[in-house]
Amino acid sequence: MTSANDPLPLPPAVRLIATDLDGTLLRDDKSVSDRTVAALAAAEEAGIEVFFVTGRPARWMGVVSDHVHGHGLAICANGAAVVDLHAGKLVQARPLERTTALDVVRTLRDAAPGTTFAVELSTGIHYEPDYPPFHLDPGATTATAEKLLGAEGPDSAAPVLKLLAQHPELTPDGFLALARTAAGDFASFTRSSPTALLEISGRGVSKASTLALCCAERGISSDQVVAFGDMPNDVEMLSWAGCSYAMGNAHPEVVAAASGRTVANNEDGVAVVIEEILASLKAVP
**pLDDT score for 31:** 92
Distance separating alpha carbons of residues 18 and 222, to the nearest angstrom? 11
Q: What would the pLDDT profile of 246-280 be if each residue is shown by its tens digit? A: 999 999 999 999 999 999 999 999 999 999 999 98
Residue pair 24/230 in contact by the 8 Å Cβ criterion: yes
Domain match, 231 and 185 both: no
DSSP class of 218: T
* Domain that includes residue 36, residue range: 16-94+206-283
**pLDDT score for 11:** 65
Domain match, 152 and 223 both: no
Domain match, 197 and 226 both: no
Looking at the chain, which runs of residues are DSSP E strands?
16-19, 49-53, 73-76, 81-84, 89-93, 116-121, 124-127, 160-166, 187-190, 197-202, 225-229, 243-246, 260-261
Q: Is the pLDDT of residue 25 over 60?
A: yes
Distance separating alpha carbons of residues 239 and 15, to the nearest angstrom? 17
Mean pLDDT to the nearest integer, 233-245: 97
- pTM for the complete prediction? 0.92
Beta bridge partners of 17: 50, 226
In this prediction, residue 63 has a pLDDT band, given cuts at 50, 70 and 90, of confident
**pLDDT score for 65:** 74
Q: Mean pLDDT score of the chain, rounded to an integer?
A: 92
In this prediction, residue 8 has a pLDDT band, given cuts at 50, 70 and 90, of low
Report the sign of the C-alpha dihedral through residues 207, 188, 233, 13, in that order: negative
Distance separating alpha carbons of residues 276 and 261, to the nearest angstrom? 13
Chain centroid offset of residue 19 CA = 9
Domain match, 90 and 210 both: yes
**pLDDT score for 219:** 96
Asked if residue 39 belongs to a domain, the reply is: yes
**pLDDT score for 136:** 64
Asked if residue 167 belongs to a domain, the reply is: yes
Asked if residue 147 belongs to a domain, the reply is: yes
Domain match, 80 and 135 both: no
In this prediction, residue 133 has a pLDDT band, given cuts at 50, 70 and 90, of confident
b/e map 106-130, b = 16+ CB within 10 Å = ebbbeebeebbbbbbbbebbbbbee
Point out the domain boundary residue: 158, 174, 202: 202
Mean pLDDT to the nearest integer, 76-92: 93
Domain match, 64 and 51 both: yes
